[in-house]
Amino acid sequence: MKHKNFLNNKISINKFKENKLIVATHNSGKLLEIKNLLQNVGVDIYSSIEMGLPVPKETGSSFEENAYIKSSETTLNSGFASLSDDSGLIINALDGSPGIYSADWSGKNRDFSDAIKKIEYLMKNKTDYSASMICVLCLSWNNKDFEVFRGEMPGKIKFPPKGNNGFGYDPIFIPDTQPFNNLSLTYGEIDPSFKNNNSHRNIAFNKFLKSISKND
């Protein structure tokens, strides 16, 4: 499949008039967060899992390209508008890794405890623990129109992992935005409702929702 140059895409999102939206993910934790963020959009929401759609191969070299691959292929296979999310953890001391390979580091069984142990090992002799969580959304419809929205939350990583909330790398990521001043809680420790309203994903969704509101 030949992918579009999404960075130069100038399609107006005002063309989006769909009433059914497929969330292009097979990640149950991510799906829950996305459904919560989409609850007031006013469209019927389904997931790739519910639609029995295959998992697209993420062959891109950036979050934006992988998000586009997932949403465009989901739209192609389903015939409906699709919203994808490609997200991950960028660690400055590891030259941006795991980055777009954040999920791959967890292995075929998506065991993020193994990925976290790998990061802890690689960080043994590092002094810079700064990191960022990235979320890129891509909305595709009509098999040709699409738009991307990027959100980023700066912060740092810390070991050992703490907290049982969230998913993925949440237990080791301490976001700059905290519930109260002078706190250093991981996403795993932060109340999910606070995370949903202040995360990298929320930043991307606010950009998405602002664009959707242009249709009103």
Give CB contacts under 8 A, 24+ apart, made by 152-155.
152/200, 152/203, 153/177, 153/198, 153/199, 153/200, 153/203, 154/130, 155/130, 155/131
Residue 139 tokens, joined: 């909305």
Assign residue 155 the CATH number of its domain: 3.90.950.10
What is the predicted pLDDT for the residue at 138? 94
Q: What is residue 45's predicted lDDT score, i.e. its pLDDT?
A: 85
The answer to whether residue 117 is domain-embedded is yes
Which domain, by its residues, includes 43? Answer: 6-215
Instruction: Determine the pLDDT at residue 12.
Output: 43
Asked if residue 44 is part of any domain, the answer here is yes
Which one-letter DSSP state was computed for residue 98? B
Q: What is the pLDDT, as a whole number, of residue 11? A: 41
Residue 24 lies in a domain: yes
pLDDT given for residue 4 in this prediction = 46
Q: Count of CB atoms within 10 A of residue 191's CB?
A: 11
> Does the annotation mark 104 as catalytic?
no
Per-residue pLDDT for the chain (216 aa), expressed as one digit of tens each?
344 444 444 344 445 567 788 999 887 777 887 888 787 777 788 889 888 999 888 899 999 999 999 999 999 999 998 999 999 999 999 999 999 999 999 988 888 999 999 999 999 999 999 999 999 999 988 767 889 999 999 999 999 999 999 999 999 999 999 999 888 999 999 999 999 899 999 999 899 888 776 555
Residue 20 lies in a domain: yes
Number of separate domains in the chain: 1
In a domain, 85, yes or no: yes
- How high is the pLDDT of residue 143? 67
DSSP bridge partners of 146: 140
Q: 86, 104, 111, 145: which one is catalytic?
A: 86
Q: What pLDDT score does 137 carry?
A: 94
CA 45/CA 32 separation, integer angstroms: 12
